Every structure is written in C-alpha cells, then in structure tokens.
Structure 1
Amino acid sequence: MDSANVNKEIKSVIRPLLQDAGFSQFTLRTAWRYSGEKIDVVNFQSFNSYLANAVGCTTYSFCVRLGCSLDAIPQRAIVKRKNGYLRPEEYECHLRLALQKSINQRNLKRTDIWYVDPTGKNLEVVIADAKKAILEIGLPWFSRFGDMKEVLRTLLEDSENNAGTSGFGANPSPIRHFMTGFTALTMGKMGLARERIKQALDSGCFKEFEPKMRAALKGTDKQGG
C-alpha cells in the first residue's frame, strides 16, 4: 500500500464526477473549474509522516478541502498558472470549506479526515464516502457562491465557522472589510464599497493594495451611490 493506490482510486472514482460537473484542470490531488466570476477548487490533502503521527492517522489518509477564488476580490498571493489557466491553491481561496465524512471510523474520530487503513483494505469505502460528500455537500456549496448576491450576503451577515465556510475572517475585521468592499464594487453598490474599502485601507493591513484601494475609492466618489 502506498499513496499511488490512493491517487489511482481518486482518479478512477472522483475525477469522472468532477469532470461531469465541469472541472477541466487536474493534478493527482487537485481539480479546478472555471465558472463565471470564480474558480472552484477541490483538493485531496495528504499528510506527511510528522502530521500523520500528530493527528493519529496514516500517511494515506486525507482531507477533502474546497475553495472558491472570486474574480471580484484581489488575490494576496501570486497565483500559479499552467496552460493558460490560473490554478489557485485551496488555501489561497477567498471562501473555503472542509468536507466531513459520514462514516464512523473507530481509528479516527475527527470527522474532517478520512482514515485509510495501512493495508488499504478500506480504501474503496473511504473514497466512496468522499465522493458522496462532494456530490451532496461540495457541489451545492460551489453553486451557492455562483451567485454574487449570496457572496455579499455571506460577507455581511455570516460568521466564519471551522465546521462550515471559512476564509473571510471575523465580522468585523480588516479582511472582511476588504472582501466585502471589492465584492460590493463589482456589484455596483458604490456606497457600501466606499465604506468597506476605506475601512480596509485605514486598517493598514493591505499595503500592497493601497494604490488599488485608493483608485477604487476615487471611482466610487465619481459614480456616487
């Protein structure tokens, strides 16, 4: 048993599901979909021996992590590109979700890690459950954030949750102001955009984006609203 067995099962079982859902770029553990105003990411996170020992799982075990990278919001990281396509990592995405398993595993109680036995005897069952999570939870989650109104509502109203959507910070916080401001700007909500971008600018947390934020503020002043 080695990681190649896990990769083979992911390719055999998970990739067809993602291809049917419109994902078009793949590595062994990551898939990307380009849909309108965002890039969707699915990543099967593996564990090195140090992390596996700390968590209490095998190096063959995995998490399934999702991310939405929104065109409306500037990226703080330099996103890799291959074959003309941007390939943000899941951890670089603006909105993130860790899927949860639905099977009980006595070897590991954590619900965000699918435990793969050292012999691989449970690999098919584990991959099937991960597929179920992607189909029933993951794909609807991606669809939810295909609506910019829902993105803005989430940023304005929701709390970040380790068991749910994360990546957008506490409410209020500089990162929340930053994300809300640029989302509102894209949607033409100039008053809200001006308020939140100014709060992000005043925080001093986004030095690399200060010229962009100042330009956005000038634009909102001209357009009003």
Structure 2
Amino acid sequence: MDRKEITAWLRKELFPALKAEGFSQRDGLRLWRHHEDRVDICELRFLTADQAYFIGSTQESLSVDLGGFFRFLPRPPWLEIPEKAGLLRPKTYDAHVRGCLVKHLAQANGPDRSDVWHIGLVGDRSDAVLDDLRETCLADMPGWFDRLGDYEDLLDVLHHGEETEVRDGITSFGHFGAKGSPARTLLIAYIARHLGKTHLAREAFERAIEQEGDGPLAVTLRTDVNSLSK
C-alpha cells in the first residue's frame, strides 16, 4: 500500500471511529477534541525519508502522537495557535503533555520500534498492521486522555515522575520537562491553582517567577500569583 491508499483507509476505517469519540475536527492526519479546560490532540505521522532510513523501515510506516494542551496556562506572545470556527488547533509539539501510542502487534520482520507501525515490510500484511493501529487507538487512547483530566494524578506525576514514563507498557506519558525545569514548574503552578491548592500553587509560582526572570511571561506570573487567596 502507498501513502494515498493508507490515507484513504484511515479516512474510512479510523477517522469516523475517532469522530464518534469526540474528535470532531480534523486537518489531514491531525485530529482535535475540545474540552472546557483543554484540547486533546491525536496526530498520525508517516515516517520521513530520513527517519525511515535511520530505523530501517519504510516511508509508509506510521506513528501516533498524542498531546494535551491546557487552556488555563498562559501562552508566550510568540506562540500563535491556529483556530477554526473559534476552536484552537494546536499541534502536538505545542502540547503541554505529550506521548505516543505503542502497538500491540509483534512485527518480527521489522526494526525494534514499538511506537512505529511498519507498513510494506516483506512478510507483513499491511491490512493486519493497519487493523492493529486502529484497535490500539480505540483501546488505548481513551485511558491516556483520561489521565489528562485527572489533575490529582497529573500533579503527582509532575512532582515525582520522570520526564517520560511508560505505564503498563501501553503508552508513553510525559515530555513535560525534567524535574525542576521551567516547563514543569509552570505546569505545577497552574494545575495546583486549578485544583485550589493555594499553598502548593504559590510555591510553584514563586519558583516559576524566579526561573522566568524578565522573560515574556514575567508580568503574567506575578499577576497570577497575586491573585491567589491568602
């Protein structure tokens, strides 16, 4: 199967199922689901020529990236998020928390990359690979995004977790910055504020202000920490 045929298969077999799960906006291989407090992002990507060569796969092979973009976090002035019909359309690299799906299918003929569905390898049936991609999306994506909505769990991960973790061998979850990094501190501050954990939020805001210095978010951070109840 070539990319055109694979894309046609996705439009017929996967995208309607994701739309039924709330991913009502789509642009190419990128889909969005909107909540009051965040935007869920699902992005399917074909390997580039360089990626395919480097790992020994094909340009028809796919990965599935996931992201959560929180509306209640401030955006630096240089970050422009596209909109359509008044709804934000961030890319996965704009997301505050990112991850990827891990396939269920064992592909003994391909390179050892659990996050890539190898398509077009000798001895593998493309339809079976795509079926596994679809089933993995429908089985594992809901739990990944549910974690984004569990702010107590997310706050615990931000305090104690590594930058990227895999739970139960299903998905990677993280890419929110190393412990103590500005990105992680900012997340802790605003999620703690969202939960009404004023003392924790204030401590994180103070660290974030120190880390930001005279950066573009300095005024916003000072305003937001002063808005916390005493």
**Taking structure 1 as the reference length, what is the TM-score of the superposition?**
0.90
In structure 2, the residue matched to 1:142 is 145
Match 1:113 to one of 116, 120, 136: 116
In structure 2, the residue matched to 1:165 is 173
**TM superposition shift of 1:157:** 2.8
In structure 1, the residue matched to 2:216 is 208
1:1-225 aligned at under 5 Å gives the runs 1-76=1-76, 77-105=79-107, 106-117=109-120, 122-161=125-164, 163=166, 164-204=172-212, 207-220=215-228, 223-224=229-230
Moved more, 151-160 or 133-142: 151-160
User: How many angstroms apart in 2 are the aligned matches of 1:83 and 1:125?
Assistant: 37
| Alpha-carbon distance change, 206 to 154 in structure 1, aligned in 2, over 3 angstroms | farther
What SS does structure 2 have at the residue aligned with 1:211?
helix
Q: How many residues align?
A: 222
Q: Which runs of 4+ in 1 moved over 6 A?
A: none
Contact preservation (8 Å) 2:110, 2:121? no
| Alpha-carbon distance change, 44 to 85 in structure 1, aligned in 2, over 3 angstroms | same
| Alpha-carbon distance change, 115 to 205 in structure 1, aligned in 2, over 3 angstroms | farther
Contact preservation (8 Å) 1:60, 1:118? no
**Taking structure 2 as the reference length, what is the TM-score of the superposition?**
0.88
User: How many angstroms apart in 2 are the aligned matches of 1:100 and 1:215?
Assistant: 41
Output the aligned Cα RMSD: 2.0
Percent identity of paired positions between Structure 1 and Structure 2: 27
- The structure carrying a bigger strand percent of its residues is 2
Aligned residue type for 2:21: A
